[in-house]
Structure 1
């Protein structure tokens, strides 16, 4: 099975999750995130904002957890430029309004631009990932380009609602290997 087919299969599996199962997996994912971050110290965490209609991992409860329990941590998110595949990054807080753009992607309004070089952890969305740190996203390369611009010590963490697979998932030379993979079922440090 090639990368394109794996993406298609796992997007379909995610779409087929019942609402109850989607919510259950997100609650388990939140607990795994809390566990992971209890043993790590980060100052500036980049968190993607989920498209809930696509049943992406719901990061909003984790963002709320950070705001309520880790006030020293800054939460960063991004807005994707859909013409050229790159992202601009913004600091968000409780006062920032988040609204979906015309494609349904949640975006912060009137947020402050945040420099990539100050981000020390990036939560990266995955359709599916492997225990070796490879991920399959949507295939546009936004996160590969973003992670390439981060400092070498920036921790990259993949998030998926699907169980991790064995192997390299047909990794290509431009694909960034992630340091940690988190699903509702496990946390795997890859290096």
Structure 2
């Protein structure tokens, strides 16, 4: 039985065992595969997460720079621990960042972006299943965010590893992703 808490613990352990150069190589493969299969257009807004280095997350900075090169607007979240909500802000190459309580780079003095203006959302995850359900860190920030996006907005996870067959304790508020990009393949749901 694959329960979220067990998957979270296992996949965090597995990720911590990856060498930094392996994370970088996987991050580049994910970026290349994303751009090969998804084509954000100039003027669109793509929401992405920025990597928490101490958690050895996928490095999304190369992806951000390629989006900017293609004249795509980039939005990133600022997390609010009290109510586990997020607000979203446009970033540019000139944006200043500060680390949050969790080590997340967050923009300072950036322009807010409403969820309705996000054309595509890139979502962090630890594990996912063949139905597009994800396991995150367990606080529900992204579950709340995904529920606020228009239904037509593509929700794409970025993962270092392939899926598990099924996550057994999916809840009603757990929205499935539309796709997940791994270093080797894209899974569509």
The TM-score range, normalised by the shorter chain, is: over 0.9
Match of residue 186 from structure 2:
187
Structure 1: gaps (5+ residues):
none
Count of aligned pairs between the two proteins: 187
Matched-pair contact (CA < 8 Å) for 1:134–1:169? no
Structure 1 residues 32-51: aligned runs within 5 Å: 32-38=33-39, 41=41, 43-51=44-52
Question: For residues 99 and 36 of structure 1, do their structure 2 counterparts lie closer, same or farther at Cα, with a shift above 3 Å needed?
Answer: farther
Matched-pair contact (CA < 8 Å) for 2:125–2:134? yes
Matched-pair contact (CA < 8 Å) for 2:48–2:74? yes
Deviation at 1:61, TM superposition (A): 0.6
Structure 1 residues 89-104: aligned runs within 5 Å: 89-104=88-103
CA distance in 2, matches of 1:147, 1:159: 15
The DSSP-based 3-state class of the residue aligned with 1:23 is: helix
CA distance in 2, matches of 1:189, 1:150: 19
Match of residue 53 from structure 1:
54
Deviation at 1:41, TM superposition (A): 4.4
CA distance in 2, matches of 1:92, 1:162: 28
CA distance in 2, matches of 1:98, 1:123: 19
TM-score using structure 1 length: 0.93
Match of residue 139 from structure 1:
138
**Is 1:162 the counterpart of 2:161 in the alignment?**
yes
The DSSP-based 3-state class of the residue aligned with 2:38 is: helix
TM-score using structure 2 length: 0.93
The DSSP-based 3-state class of the residue aligned with 2:76 is: strand
Match of residue 10 from structure 2:
9
Write out the 4+ residue segments of structure 1 that deviate beyond 6 Å after TM superposition.
Answer: none
Deviations 1:10-69 (A, max 9, x none): 00000110122112211211111111223x54811101111022111111110011112x
